[in-house]
Amino acid sequence: MAPLNQHFRILNTDPESAARCALLSTPHGQVLTPAFMPVGTQGTVKSLTPDTVKALGAEMILCNTYHLYLRPGHQLIASLGGLHSFMNWGGPILTDSGGFQVYSLGKLRKITPEGAIFQSHIDGSRHRLTPELAIEIQEALGSDIMMCLDECTPYPATFSEAEASLSLTLSWAERSRKARADSSPQALYGIVQGGMYPDLRKRAVEAIAAMNFDGCALGGVSVGEPKALMEQIVAETTPLLPADRPHYLMGVGTPEDIVKAVDCGIDLFDCVMPTRCARHGLLFTNTEKVVIKNARYRKDNGPLDSECDCYTCRNFSRAYLRHLYVAGEILAMTLNTLHNIRYYMRLMEQIRDAIGCGQYAAFKSRFLKDRQRVET
């Protein structure tokens, strides 16, 4: 394991909650947390250049082991100098292990104790993804943070299903730990599963903590369960996590989800929401839910979000953005994604500022109240 004090250093903690600011150090630079990682599954944050992603304030992005393994292949990427060089992203990269694909590609996959057997969604060919192979791929890619292969427990799951799934994830975690090269500069995070059962979550945290990973992730959340249940699981599980390691809530979430989870001590987030929703025409602002294709914006000459400092908001009207979207123009995706990512980045900046000055509770309640107004 990389020495902990070098990977994660807490800068300050909020007096009234578990929220904290920290500095995450990786071979490709540092990341201030709480941080949101834009998702770049296939080695690209869809529709944006890496320059733009960086300029928007993103310090670390997420890429996907399974997808890059299938296409173009990790060995090819390694032979071309690694993922950073291949995609021209100089900052830190976290690679998801493919565990989520074990879940999302459910119909194309079979799970055995050894690993997951996938049928490629691209050409139907069969592949066996084991914890060891997931590490090998991530080492070939050269990501800064690797994730253990896990089984993302579906919802709903009975206790015994969740328990069986958890023990598989834990055994895979142990194998991942052993598979990783001793001298590796790449961090490795374990993943806490356990479904919606607090007892299993507790057991998972204890086991993962005992394996001494560089960071602890909470997985298997926002898989279709009621929102209140997710919040409950996060609230009950986070206090059990080792305080001196980064806490990563995988696949979450909406701005509200993030603000609430930071309160529980989560440091890292990733989610397709800002990028996917942007491509589908849903744009985030603090004052209004903007579905840019709606007819009401046809003649709206105002900026998308007057509070936002992004290129889209500074230069284009809602009427133009609607036109681009409705016309199916490729620029719509770029401008929309650019804004949504900037919205998330500004949110994280505000979160870190609020923690920095010990005002997180006030920030949180004000933010949630504002968002409630937006939704209604």
Partner RNA sequence: GGAGGGGUUCCCGAGCGGUCAAAGGGAGCAGACUGUAAAUCUGUCGGCUCAGCCUACGGAGGUUCGAACCCUCCCCCCUCCA
* Interface residue list for RNA (CB under 7 A): 39-41, 45-46, 62, 64, 67, 96-97, 99-101, 103-105, 107-108, 121, 147, 150, 152, 191, 217, 219-220, 222-223, 227, 250-254, 257, 270-273, 275-277, 279-282, 291, 293-296, 298, 326, 328, 330, 333
- Between 56 and 191, name the residue whose CB sits nearer to RNA: 191
Supply the DSSP symbol for 291.
Answer: E
φ and ψ at residue 116, rounded to 5 degrees:
-105, 130
In the sheet with 20-26, reading across from the earlier edge strand, the strands are 8-13, 20-26, 29-33
Cα(376)–Cα(83) distance, integer angstroms: 43
Alpha carbon 193 to chain centroid, angstroms: 16
Cα(292)–Cα(255) distance, integer angstroms: 19
Distance of closest approach, residue 356 Cβ to RNA, in angstroms? 25
Distance of closest approach, residue 311 Cβ to RNA, in angstroms? 19
- Between 223 and 362, name the residue whose CB sits nearer to RNA: 223
Distance of closest approach, residue 217 Cβ to RNA, in angstroms? 7
Distance of closest approach, residue 11 Cβ to RNA, in angstroms? 25
> Which pair of structure tokens corresponds to residue 140?
């070939």
- Between 56 and 147, name the residue whose CB sits nearer to RNA: 147
Pick the catalytic residue: 14, 96, 214, 257? 96
Distance of closest approach, residue 91 Cβ to RNA, in angstroms? 17
Distance of closest approach, residue 256 Cβ to RNA, in angstroms? 8
Query: Would you call 214 a catalytic residue per the annotation?
Result: no
Radius of gyration (C-alpha) of the chain in whole angstroms:
20
CA angle 372, 373, 376 (to 5 degrees): 85
In the sheet with 126-129, reading across from the earlier edge strand, the strands are 109-111, 116-119, 126-129
297 near 360, Cβ under 8 Å? no
> Which pair of structure tokens corresponds to residue 27?
């071979």
Helix (H, G, I), strand (E, B) or coil at 298: coil
Pick the catalytic residue: 263, 267, 270, 305? 270
Query: Would you call 270 a catalytic residue per the annotation?
Result: yes
Cα(52)–Cα(284) distance, integer angstroms: 18
Catalytic residues: 96, 270
